Structures are given as structure tokens and as C-alpha cells.
Amino acid sequence: MIKKIFFLGLFLFCSHLQAIVWNEPLAVGIDGLTGEEPASSINDNNQAVIAWVGSVASDYVIQTAIYSAGAWGFPVNCSPVGSTLCSPTVEINAVGDIMLAWQKYDGIQYTLEWSLYSSGTWSSPQTLVASDYLFENVSVKFNVSGDAILMWTNLPLGNQYVVHASSYTGGIWSTPQSLSSVDNNVVDAALALNDMGDAIIVWDSDDGALTSVKAVNRVEWGSWSVPTTISTANIYSFLPIVSIASSGDAIAVWESMEPTVSVIQAADFISGVWQAPATISAVGANTDSPNLSLNSHGNAIAVWRQLEGMNLESVACRKLNGSWQTPVVISQPGGNCRDQIVSLNDSEEAIVCWRIKEIKPTGYYEFNIQSIDFSLETWGTVVSTGLYSILREPHLILNNMGRAWGVCACMGYIMTSEANF
């Protein structure tokens, strides 16, 4: 019996050392059309969507490709061709409906446009809001009920960026609501929504003397709460990310400046109350650029980059059964990692991707997108996804069935690579 257990454990350990294998990268765009700014989403029925900005000369168009029945469909135009378009954000829900939003500039005004994919058809683009100023931090979340939230930051008075949100219920968008103070400037903001309609928005708020992390929440499509500060008092804190579980509990992570180093901090939102923040990065480590993924069990993985000598490492920290574990370096020695992103599913499987700078024999450089997987309570080995990206960060989507796609823009193409646990 002991031998059987030993060999079973050895088999599981060795099988995981093989790591996941990424398929040959595939271009999903249209030949002759340059693609940039991809956004992506996946559901548990192995349906996925990628949205991006396509361009020919000075003309732009929002395009999408949908993965269904085992193949990527042909890209379609979701906006008219012509105006300057940017910032696509997209999410597919559990039944395969898709909410898409983007920003348009016609030379006079900026507008936020949206389109809904349902029953196999995209709706005509419609305008939600217009402004004389650029929209930032545009993000849409869409749940199984067909309800959505669109969040953005904008300059309503022309001097400070303010957080705004609008809710989509019963086929109608609500009047946009300002959630942050017009006296404080917002640089970064993030949105999370679950299938019950619980939602949280976090942002960094600069009052001119200190930047702190603030949050609002709402329960089942109720009213937004009053903003509350969730970061440590009198410490410069910024770059917040938030993820919400099906229970309505959530976790936020961000970067904070201590006297000699930059650290990663996290706070739990439990039963409607934000808990005191805690530092989850290693003592003395200089860190930045956190990312986070939380599953329905309340477990999470946070990733960030860490300065080690002249190199930048990828670091991961797991939260299991309510406690953050010791951070571990997951990248290979001597790398220069950036743009870390993580996705964790309900089977406690995860993938982390990042870009790493590689100098070629010609003297030119490119950014290879690498990954590492987590399963069977163990980190695997670092592998290449086969994707490369020079200027843009990678996208990563993983579902509860263990299917994943990496997505990036490279040399004008929208590229994707698939992997499976």
C-alpha cells in the first residue's frame, strides 16, 4: 500500500513537471488590417471572445472574433469605420452573450459606445455618454443575468479625473453616476462584478498631499456606498486591483510606498466590511505592478514584479483558507520581467504570464511572453507561450474547465495561443 501511494505521488509530481503546453500561435485578425489593444474574455462553456482596434491608414474599426464549437469565427466589425477608436473592453457571460464597449473620438467629442451580442447577432452601436475630454480606465463587467456595469474615469470639470459608473439592467443603461470626489484626482481604477449583482470599484485618490486607495460597493444592484479609504493611513498607495467572489466577499491589492521600498498590500472585504490591510510581499523586497485573481472558494493568487539586483523577477503569493502564504519567485533567474497577469479557477489551477525582454543576435530586442502554471498544489516550470509583444501587455483568460488563452498584439497582428490543463 505504501508503495502504491509513493508511486501515485511520484506520478502526479512528474506529470506536473511536464508543464502545460501552448499551441502554435494563431492570428485572429484580418490580413491587411492592423490590430491593436486586444481585450478578451472566456466562460465555462469554452466560449471566448477577443475584441480589438483594427486600422487601415487613418481609419479605425472595433472588431471581434468569437470562439465557439472548437474554432475561432471570422472577425466582424462592431463599429462603423472611420473615427478614432480605442479602449475596447469586453466580457462574455455564462450563456454566451457578450457586452462590448469602446471609446470614440470624432474630432470634436469623445464618446463611450457599446454593443450587445445575443442570439448570434451584434446590436447596432449606441452612445452611452459624451465628453470634451478623454475617457480613461474604461472597463465593462457582464454577468449571467445579462446585467452589466461600465466604469470609467473622466474630467467632468476639466481639472481632476473622477470615477463614473453606469448599470445595464433590463436592457437599459442607468444615468452615469460620479463615485469619487471632484476635489481628488484618480489615476487608476478597477471594477469587479459577480453573478448576484454585487459589485466593487477601487481607485487611487490623490488629494494633492497623499494618494490613497478608496472603494465603493453595492449589494445586488442596490445603491453605491459612500467611498471609504482601504489603504494604510499616511502611506502613499496606488495601482489597485480588485476581484470579487460569488459570495460578495472580495480582495483588493495595491502598491504602497514605504520609507525605503515599495511593497504590495492587500485587504479583504468580508460580509460588507473592509478589513485592515496587510503587506503580502517579502520584507525588504522592492516591488510593483500587482495583479490578482480570486476564485469562488475565496482563495486567491496575487502576482507582481520584484527588483533583484539589476533584474526584475515575477513573484506570486497564494491566499489559501484565509491566509496569505510566503511569496515565491516563479520566473527564471536573470530575467527582466514585466506586465505580470494571473488567472485562477475554481479547481485551484492557475496560470501566470509575463513579458520578458530578449536581446537578439542582431542587437534588436523583443518581448517573449512566458508562463508558469499552478496545479496539484505546485508551481510548474516556466515555458514560452509562443507569443511576442513589443509595446502592449499580454492578456490571459482561464476558465473552470482548465482551458486558457494568451492574447497579445504583435507587429500589427492579434495573436492568441491556447493551453489546457
**Chain segment 219-238, per-residue pLDDT in tens:** 998 999 999 999 999 999 99
What pLDDT is attached to residue 357?
83
d(CA 7, CA 14): 10
Q: What are the backbone angles phi and psi of residue 407, rounded to the nearest 5°?
A: -135, 140
Average the pLDDT over each of 129-133, 173-177, 314-318, 363-367 and give the range with the smallest value: 363-367
Cβ atoms of residues 91 and 140 within 8 Å:
yes
26-168 CATH fold: Neuraminidase (2.120.10)
pLDDT exceeds cutoff 80 at 410 = yes
DSSP SS3 for 10: helix
pLDDT exceeds cutoff 50 at 208 = yes
Q: Of the candidates 211, 218, 117, 147, which has an alpha carbon nearest to the alpha carbon of residue 177?
A: 218
Binned at pLDDT 50, 70 and 90, residue 8 comes out as: very low
Binned at pLDDT 50, 70 and 90, residue 391 comes out as: low
Domains of the chain by residue range: 26-168
CA-angle at 286, arms to 282 and 287, nearest 5°: 85
Cβ atoms of residues 303 and 315 within 8 Å:
yes
DSSP characters over 226-290? PPEE-SPTTSEEEEEEEEE-TTS-EEEEEEEE-SS-EEEEEEEEETTEEPPPEE-SPTT-EEEEE
The whole-model pTM stands at 0.93
CA-angle at 107, arms to 85 and 152, nearest 5°: 50
What pLDDT is attached to residue 13?
41
Binned at pLDDT 50, 70 and 90, residue 18 comes out as: low
pLDDT exceeds cutoff 70 at 11 = no
What pLDDT is attached to residue 82?
83
What pLDDT is attached to residue 214?
98
Binned at pLDDT 50, 70 and 90, residue 158 comes out as: low
Cβ atoms of residues 87 and 119 within 8 Å:
no
Q: Of the candidates 38, 152, 147, which has an alpha carbon nearest to the alpha carbon of residue 99?
A: 147
What pLDDT is attached to residue 363?
67
pLDDT digits 0-9 by tens, 95-118: 999 999 999 999 999 999 999 999
Cβ atoms of residues 62 and 80 within 8 Å:
no
Binned at pLDDT 50, 70 and 90, residue 5 comes out as: very low
pLDDT exceeds cutoff 90 at 359 = no
C-alpha cell at 295: 476564485
Pairing of β 250-257 and β 236-244: antiparallel
The mean predicted confidence, pLDDT, of the chain is 92
pLDDT digits 0-9 by tens, 319-341: 999 999 999 999 999 888 999 99
Q: Average pLDDT for residues 262-268, to the nearest whole number? A: 98
DSSP SS3 for 178: strand
- Identify the H or E element spanning 216: strand 211-218
DSSP classification of residue 9? H
d(CA 43, CA 46): 6
Q: Average pLDDT for residues 176-199, to the nearest whole number? A: 96
d(CA 397, CA 415): 14
Average the pLDDT over each of 9-13, 52-56, 129-133, 239-243 and give the range with the smallest value: 9-13
DSSP classification of residue 336? B
C-alpha cell at 90: 469586453
DSSP classification of residue 391? S
Binned at pLDDT 50, 70 and 90, residue 370 comes out as: very high
Binned at pLDDT 50, 70 and 90, residue 166 comes out as: very high
